[in-house]
Amino acid sequence: MALEIPEVVINRLPVYARALSELAAAGEAVVSSQALGELLDVTPAQIRKDLSYFGRFGKQGRGYNVHGLLAKLREILGIDRQWHVCLVGVGRLGQAIAEYGGFRPQGFEILAAFDADVAMVGKTVGGVTVHFIDELESFITSHNVDIGIVAVPAAHAQAVVDRLVAAGVHAILNYAPISAHVPRDVTIRHIDPVLAMQSMTFYIKKGEGGGK
């Protein structure tokens, strides 16, 4: 039986990979778990424990080879290849996502965007062509889309998610302010900045003495 890896560990791996990328860009060849932990505010023991799920890395007293560990983490995460992405919803948020230049360098290529507004169809946003929403399923099938990004109003989010799943998409990044439901074999991540800020105000209130 395969060892089950906690989701919190998986979520930390991209953070480790980003830090290692920065170290590699700075010309660093070796890094200790202590130094890496100080960069990320994570204990060295936690880093060693997280990495131990995937094998043995580094040597006692010598640290980790930056390029070697980075390459291994990229392989583990699957970011050593190109992933095909489609975007659904090109309102203000969707346009900002399409125009964001950080996806492609990390292996995520937004092939097309989709919207129900015929006035948007045919336009190019951030180098991405907008298609009518009715073309969604056929495009996903013909272009082997791996990941769907949902940036539609909350009232339409679940229906869009259902269409992505039915078309064969197995990973969804949901920016709509709703917790959409998916089958067990589909991975979904919800991005809601309002919820994040609401959780932060708890600590602000507590610091002001109002959290008693």
- Please name the CATH architecture into which domain 83-195 falls: 3-Layer(aba) Sandwich (3.40)
Tens-digit pLDDT profile for residues 116-168: 999 999 999 999 999 999 999 999 999 999 999 999 999 999 999 999 999 99
Q: What is the pTM of this model?
A: 0.88
As beta bridge partners, residue 187 has: 171
Tens-digit pLDDT profile for residues 21-53: 999 999 999 999 999 999 999 999 999 999 999
| Cα 193 from Cα 174, distance rounded (Å) | 12
CATH class for domain 7-76? mainly alpha
The domain ranges of the chain are 7-76, 83-195
As beta bridge partners, residue 63 has: 59
Interior CA angle at 51 toward 47 and 192, to 5°? 70
Which tokens in the block code for residue 31?
A: 């890094």
Which tokens in the block code for residue 199?
A: 């959780």
